[in-house]
Structure 1
Amino acid sequence: MRTEALSSLIPNAADFLAQPPTEAVNWRDSSTLDFGLAAVSELLDHGSLQRQMVSLVKDGKRVAQSAYTWAGQPIQPGFADVVRSTKVSAYIGAGATTVLESLHRTWKPIGDLCRRLSHETGLPISANAYLTPSGSQGFAHHYDTHSVLIVQTAGSKTWQLHAPVYNDPLEHQPWDGSKVTEAEWTRLRTGTPYLEVTLQPGDSLWIPRGWIHNGFATDEHSLHVSFSFPTLTPYFLAAELVRALGSERAFRAELPWGFGRSAELRGEALATTAKLLAEHFTALSEQPTDNSELADTYRRFSLESARRPLDNFLPAPTAETQVRTVAEAAAGVDWLPNGNLRVHLGDSIVEFEDAPAQVVADLLAADSAVPWTAAGFDLPEETAVELVTLLLRTGLAARV
């Protein structure tokens, strides 16, 4: 598989994929990512960002969204959630950090990069950007429940990294400073960090989930993009498996009344449930099963394939139209019992039948950037052109 996206951010992408680091790592001058102040200005000045797409952080706390949107102001209907650039400017002047949330959905180059990163890693990668004025700080000591790859794109920022105080936190176990012991706080505040580094444009920093990080701008502003690497855990799979039990009548049966006041009834109910679980999961592990529904639950986090509306006005493709495969558009591929190929696009599903199914499977598996035409398929010309048309419409192929 090509690793062009990951290789544009860090060195030795193949080694990284084979064994993701379990400790913080810093790479100097490793990234070619182009997302500077001009891009931030274009996003904020355009006047189309909604409140969910921008956060402001002042003194370690998020600013109320009503303070920098049109909420409560006399303006045209539908604009209450729109971010006001004048208000953002005032907060930046007061030292607030601006967070561009879900940047992979608002800035196409970042979206394309995240889509490719998702293909290379097998994880639904997302991105935020953080702009911090000189001498300021957004969030102080904290950990994330997912790993992040930070890429500095303008200015500089100093980071202090400490080993976890709580190993491998899950999504419902976010950072809570009040639960950190005094001894741990002393280590974080006065102890020697595992890693302390000042990032310059082009530098990257890997922070595994659970690792404490404390970042602050230097005597110049700081802009970095943070790529989130979500963690798939046995806990997640177990929760999804249990959620699916609702379709089994045995698990919908009513247990005896009195559960809250009778230890004997509680014991019987737990024994009954444990027996049902054991029988269900034994059958699940012993029998081949279609687990695509379980995969679909994870795929829902994937970025949908890129489809450009105005491509509908281009001339219809012919057998000689030059196109290339966009393998990263596929969030997943499943062969069905009937021989059809099901391709997941993040927001929808497309199925291919018969010979075209194998053609599509081969194209996606090859993951080649070399252009091709419908004429090169071992298919009737009309069928081949129809296939190319469908691939273009779904974003699985793009014109060269």
Structure 2
Amino acid sequence: MDLSELIAPLAPEQFLGEYWGREPVHIPAPAGTNRQAVIGWARLNALLGVRTHWGAEHIKLLLNSAPVSPDFYMDPVPGRGGVRRLANPAKVEMFLAMGASLVADAVEEVAPEIRRLTDALARQFAARAEANLYCSFQGIQAFASHCDLHEVFAIHCVGEKRWRIYANRAENPIAPLKGDDAQARIDAAKGPVLMDVTLRPGDVLYIPRGYFHDALASSAESLHLTIGITPHSGKLLFELLEEMALREPAFRAYLADAREGGGAALADQLAALGERLAELARSRALHEEVAVRQRRLAAPGRSLALPERPLLDFYARTDRAGTVAWLETGAVLRAGGGEQPLGPVADAAEYVLDRPAVSAQEVRARFAHHPADEVDALLALLIRLGLVQPYRPAL
């Protein structure tokens, strides 16, 4: 399943132009859809049987909108890596019998069919894509009104659930509200109901980041899959700019004492550093690094096709000098007295040049976030410059 199948019969062009990041939309299941077959009870039970996945970071129970302490349903389990705390199925079942709701996180890590969907959406949006399952029962509300910090696709699988989306929206939130009065502040801010819909098997509900919403099972039992989509935000720039800035002595120098000379020296120093940061923010180097980070989020998954194995294409490093230079104007390859721009594949170039030998398949696997044709073009460039040469290792 990809985006076009997920939102059918809505066309991707219409969805991206009118709804993505803008407005919520309910997409009823078209005739003949198999979206409701994404996950059912039998498959959920089988996934919950993969016990090693269900540590406290991946499974949650909520009762009357309050989280159940993991101490009540986790057991210490010895294993090859030591003792881990894992969910006890019998204890989980007991809480579900009491009316608790179950949240099973990161199901794409144990369900290949869900991984194919999250991979497709990660490639579509250059974003992290994660899948969670929600099992709840009639009249039980797992979560109070809240907003998510990412884009949400809710795919309804079993039963029915009523969703209310409110008119007001938090502006590009990156952290949840905290404090004893957090829920009261949310309830005061969410505004009137904008959309009130009941999802049935095969229906999809898209909710942009920041829209306040809540949901309540309206059938005896309910099961839905949520895909969270999180592209990089501007917050990434602080990390990247710090890395770039600290390569320069001016950013590693002590700051002037604000008490001296009425703070004039400090003011001048801060102004100079600020101007330099602005230059770095406009640089080609930062643009390329952001592109690489986005590519890493969108890196495609890979399935094995055993017993078939690829024939490896090996390349040996020659004794000719060649280095990657990380310039403000973008990474370049320096060899033979000239420079070649590398763009986002500079990380792969540096890896190949530092190794005595590699295979093309190794480079593609290690740098799967780069398109294979760009990796192949890089290897062709290194061959043309005499930095590597094909060879066949002795068996």
TM-score normalised by the chain length of structure 2: 0.71
Q: 1:207-239: CA deviations, max 9, x gaps?
A: 111111011111321111111121433343345
- CA shift in 2, pair 1:304/1:175, >3 Å: farther
Task: Identify the residue that residue 11 of structure 2 maps to in structure 1.
Answer: 12
Residue pair 1:300, 1:347 contacting (<8 A) in 2 also: no
Q: CA deviation at 1:87?
A: 1.3
Amino acid at match of 1:264: G
Task: Give the aligned partner of residue 292 of structure 1.
Answer: 288
Q: Which residue of 2 aligns with 1:102?
A: 106
Give the corresponding residue for 1:370.
Answer: none
Alignment of structure 1 residues 184-199 onto 2, 5 Å? 185=187, 188=190, 192-199=192-199
Return the match for 1:314 from 308, 312, 316: 308
- Distance in 2 between the 1:164 and 1:262 partners? 49
Shift of 1:359: 11
**SS at the partner of 1:89?**
helix
After superposition, where does 1:299-338 map in structure 2 within 5 Å? 299-302=295-298, 305-308=301-304, 311=305, 313-314=307-308, 337=333, 338=340
Question: For residue 331 of structure 1, what is the aligned residue in structure 2?
Answer: none
- Aligned residue for 1:279? 276
Q: Distance in 1 between matches of 2:228 and 2:242?
A: 27
Change in Cα spacing, 1:283 to 1:121, as seen in structure 2 (3 Å) is closer
**Is the 8 Å Cα contact of residues 96 and 102 (structure 2) preserved in structure 1?**
yes
Q: State the distance in 2 between where 1:233 and 1:89 align.
A: 39
Q: Given the alignment of the two structures, is residue 172 of structure 1 paired with residue 190 of structure 2, yes or no? A: no
Deviations, residues 329-365 of structure 1 (Å, cap 9, x unaligned): xxxxx9975577949899931689999825999xxxx
Which AA in structure 2 matches 1:348?
A: R
Are the counterparts in 1 of residues 126 and 294 from structure 2 also a CA contact under 8 Å? no
Q: Judging changes above 3 Å, is the alpha-carbon distance between structure 1 residues 100 and 179 closer, same or farther for their aligned structure 2 residues? A: closer
2:2 & 2:156 partners in 1: Cα distance? Answer: 16
Note if contact 2:161-2:219 (Cα within 8 Å) is conserved in structure 1: no
Structure 1 residue 248: Cα displacement:
2.1
- The 1:115/1:165 distance shift into structure 2, 3 A limit, reads closer
**CA contact 2:2–2:117 (8 Å) conserved in 1:** yes
Pick aligned residue for 1:69 from 74, 92, 99: 74
Residue matched to 2:326: none
Is the 2:168–2:189 contact (alpha carbons within 8 Å) kept by the matching residues of 1? no
Shift in CA distance, 251/69, structure 1 to aligned 2, threshold 3 Å: same
Distance 1:354 1:109, change over 3 A: closer
1:60 to 65, 71, 74: 65
Per mean C-alpha deviation after superposition, the further-off stretch among 102-111 and 226-235 is 226-235
2:149 is the alignment partner of 1:145: yes
What secondary structure is seen at the aligned counterpart in 1 of 2:202? coil
Q: Which residue of 1 aligns with 2:201?
A: 201
1:241-390 pair list within 5 angstroms: 241-257=241-257, 259=258, 264-265=262-263, 268-282=265-279, 285=282, 288-289=284-285, 291-302=287-298, 305-308=301-304, 311=305, 313-314=307-308, 337=333, 338=340, 342=345, 348-349=366-367, 357-358=376-377
Q: How far did 1:156 drift? A: 1.1
Separation in 1 of the partners of 2:144 and 2:371? 50
Aligned equivalent of 1:43, options 43, 47, 52? 47
Within 2, Cα distance between the matches of 1:279 and 1:77? 48
The SS at the match of 2:168 is: coil
RMSD (CA atoms) = 3.9
Seen in structure 2, the aligned counterparts of structure 1 residues 241 and 298 have a Cα distance that, compared at 3 Å, is farther
Partner of 1:230: 230
Per-residue deviation, 1:164: 2.7
Q: 1:58 to 1:248 in 2, by over 3 A?
A: farther
For the Cα contact (< 8 Å) 2:241–2:277, is it kept in 1?
Answer: no
Q: Secondary structure at the residue paired with 2:82?
A: coil
Q: Is the 8 A contact 1:100 1:129 kept in 2?
A: yes
The aligned counterpart of 1:82 is 86
Structure 1 residue identity aligned to 2:4: S
Structure 2 alignment gaps of length 5 or more: 313-329, 334-339, 349-362, 381-388
Cα distance change, pair 354–273 in 1 and its aligned pair in 2 (3 A)? same
Q: Is the 8 A contact 1:124 1:303 kept in 2?
A: no
Contact 1:125 1:228 survives alignment (8 Å):
yes
Q: Which residue of 1 aligns with 2:315?
A: none
* Equivalent residue number for residue 393 of structure 1: none
- Aligned partner letter, 1:153: C
**Counterpart-to-counterpart distance in 2, 1:272 and 1:82:** 53
Q: CA deviation at 1:262?
A: 7.5
Q: 1:147 to 1:284 in 2, by over 3 A?
A: closer
Q: AA paired with 1:314?
A: E
Alpha-carbon separation, structure 2, partners of 1:228 and 1:346 = 27
Q: 1:76 to 1:168 in 2, by over 3 A?
A: closer
Distance 1:115 1:172 in 2: 25
| Count of residue pairs brought into register by the alignment | 335
Higher strand fraction: Structure 1 or Structure 2? Answer: 2
Quote how far apart the aligned CAs of 1:101 are.
0.8
**What amino acid is the match of 1:272?**
Q
Q: Provide the identity percentage.
A: 22
Residues 157 and 200 in structure 1, CA contact (< 8 A), matched pair in contact too: yes
The equivalent of 1:93 in structure 2 is 97
Q: Name the aligned partner's letter for residue 274 of structure 1.
A: A
Equivalent in the alignment of 1:118: 122
Distance 2:205 2:246 in 1: 43
Q: Distance in 2 between matches of 1:27 and 1:316?
A: 42
Counterpart-to-counterpart distance in 2, 1:93 and 1:23: 37
Q: Is the 8 A contact 1:147 1:228 kept in 2?
A: yes
Q: Is the 8 A contact 2:241 2:281 kept in 1?
A: no
Task: Give the distance between the partners of 1:187 and 1:166, measured in 2 at CA.
Answer: 9
Partner SS for 2:119: helix
